[in-house]
Amino acid sequence: MNTSMLFSMHGQVAIVTGAGKGIGRACALALAGAGADVALCARTQSDLDSVAGEIRAMGRRAITVAGDISEAAAQDAVVARTLAELGKITILINNAGGAGPNNPLKMTGDDLVRVLAWNVVPAYTLIQKTIPAMRDAGGGAVVNISSVAARYAQKSFSAYGAAKAALNQLTRNLAQDFGPLVRINAIEPGTILTDALAPFLTPERRERMEKTTPLGRLGQPEDIAAAVLFLSSPASSWITGKVLGVDGGLEAPNF
């Protein structure tokens, strides 16, 4: 067994959403570092340009598509440009999403719909729009970025937890629809040190969280990127419809 080839992404072309910062950026760089060319999607062009520069410095190709990936026009643009400029699509990383805590007595039904839609619909429609290209390329892999909120029972996260639980079940069901040529899996990140978390992470809170995490530290974006690389690579060629927790071993909320 050639273990280096198991994790090689040479000849692969990936689309990564939410690629300008944090987990998305780390995923894009990990895939490029393993040999993939990457289409980068996010709202902020300057962030995309920075990541694209790092990828090109590795000797890989990168294109940027700035826009709101929840909109059909942005989805169509990234699919069309990836095919036109990078030649094919074999990997999709659905990283865009998120939401904060909610008060279940105050959150309106319309606000709940927006959280559910933002975390589920773009992943669904991008999978739908990239499947034909993956089939034409001989196969592919999708990784949806979910959250441990999907399985934790905790106060004030009914909207976000429900949205990510829906994404998990979407992952399981679409894996049945699109195998064997396309594999679809998800990752549940635990607490990851990103710019979004930083304003809430007091020294006292960080110390408590680290002490209650079995592996003794909070996660880095690169921890999620490593799991994304595994689930995108030939090393996981007999894995589909699964949800992988990457959470330092924590099995309950500790925020």
Q: CB-based contacts of 89: which residues, under 8 Å, 6+ apart? A: 13, 15, 79, 82, 83, 130, 133, 134, 137, 140
Does 180 sit behind a cis peptide bond, omega within 30 degrees of 0 on the bond before it? yes
- Which candidate in 160, 184, 232, 250 is catalytic? 160
- Reduce the secondary structure of 149-178 to three states and give it as a string: HHCCCCCCCHHHHHHHHHHHHHHHHHHHHH
Q: What is the DSSP letter of 199?
A: G
Cα–Cα distance measured from residue 243 to residue 171, given in angstroms and rounded to the nearest whole number = 8
Q: CB-based contacts of 74: which residues, under 8 Å, 6+ apart? A: 41, 65, 67, 68
Virtual CA dihedral for 114, 118, 120, 124, nearest 10 degrees? 120
Residue 160 among the catalytic residues = yes
Cα–Cα distance measured from residue 82 to residue 198, given in angstroms and rounded to the nearest whole number = 33
Q: What is the DSSP letter of 219?
A: B
Give the residue numbers annotated as catalytic, written as ranges. Answer: 160
